[in-house]
Amino acid sequence: METTIQDQKSLIMVVDDNPEFLDGIELTLEMEGFKVWTANNGKSALEQLEKAFLLKQRTGGSGLEGLPDLILADIMMPEMDGYEFYDKVRANPFTNHIPFIFLTAKSGEENIRQGKELGADDYFSKLAPPEDLLASVKGKIKRVEQRRQINEEVVGDPTKSLMSGSFVAIAVIGSLVMAAFCLGIAFATGFLGL
């Protein structure tokens, strides 16, 4: 029996240095049917992301299917805080597509503003009702599933981007042909004279 996108459990990475909070979020998400990875700081989380990507590549996959569908991360953590972790995730072309939610005790307006200015997909106080967090998580996961469905229909593989491989080559060739055509018209009409 073939597995469809809808049959697959979404994978969520939760990064927090508070073990009790980490366990609580993990349990909440698992009860909602999600698979959960946990890490106790940004450095450890980055190592997990790298290992998962490399493992999938070595076993014949694109690597992207081994990555989480969503990341929830605290801000105040040892070794690498949430902001630095976010920056590193966004700087990597293989992880920059993953939706990212800051989940933190820092709920001051300046902290929320900083998280939003960085480009995080959402920002929640740890004191927020679990229902609000779950609503955001489900919305982000729904977008991920929609993107995968489109990729599967167009590319034939839900883990590959529309702009990967041959699609990039086709886009570049198309752009060059269009540029040559426009230049030809410009020269033929005398708009560009030599």
pTM for the model stands at 0.73
Q: What is the average pLDDT value for the chain, to the nearest integer?
A: 81
What is the Cα–Cα distance from 118 to 87, expressed in whole angstroms?
A: 8
Cβ neighbours of residue 84 closer than 8 Å, sequence gap 6 or more: 42
Q: Which two tokens stand for residue 130?
A: 């679990």
Looking at the structure, give the CATH architecture of the domain made up of residues 6-157. 3-Layer(aba) Sandwich (3.40)
Residue 71 carries which side chain, given as an amino acid letter? I
Of the given ranges (5-9, 89-93, 122-126, 165-169), which has the lowest mean pLDDT?
A: 165-169
So what's the pLDDT on residue 175? Answer: 75
Q: Read off the pLDDT of each residue in 108-131 and give the average, rounded to a whole number.
A: 84
Across 16-121, the runs of DSSP E, i.e. the strands, are 35-39, 70-73, 100-104
CA distances from 179 to 171, 188, 189, 193 (A): 12, 14, 15, 17
So what's the pLDDT on residue 168? Answer: 54
Structural contact between residues 69 and 144, judged by C-beta atoms closer than 8 angstroms: yes
pLDDT digits (tens, 9 = 90+) for 74-101: 999 999 999 999 999 999 988 889 999 9
Choose among 79, 135, 80, 83: nearest CA to 104. 83
Residue 105 carries which side chain, given as an amino acid letter? A
So what's the pLDDT on residue 3? Answer: 38
For the cut 70, the answer to whether the pLDDT of residue 164 exceeds it is no
Which residues on neighbouring strands pair with residue 104, listed in sequence order? 125
For the cut 90, the answer to whether the pLDDT of residue 59 exceeds it is no
For the cut 80, the answer to whether the pLDDT of residue 8 exceeds it is no
- Cα atoms in the Cβ-side hemisphere of radius 13 Å centred on 81: 7
